Amino acid sequence: MPLIDVSIARGRAPEQLRALIDALHCAVEQTVGAQSENITVLVREVEPEHWSRANRTVAERTATE
């Protein structure tokens, strides 16, 4: 009963998120042989101001690009 929990910065189109869910689901089916009905994918969208790496938020990095 695989549970895939992904965090991603908010801002993707619904179609992109759907494609991500599909790709993750298929990868688990193919690599560990899980049955489709037992796979759960959870996508958490995080506000850019709440996500940082190297002491800079995604929002700060985006603003300077």
Could you give the number of structural domains in the chain? 1
Of 55, 54, 53, 40, the closest CA to residue 6 belongs to 40
Q: Which residues of the chain have pLDDT under 50?
A: none
pLDDT at 42: 98
In b/e form, how buried is each residue of 21-33, taking b as 16+ CB within 10 angstroms? eeebbeebeeeee
Q: What CATH code is carried by the domain that includes residue 34?
A: 3.30.429.10
Owning domain of residue 28:
3-63
Per-residue confidence (pLDDT) for residue 64, from 0 to 100: 85
Q: What is the pTM of this model?
A: 0.84
| Structure confidence at residue 2 (pLDDT) | 96
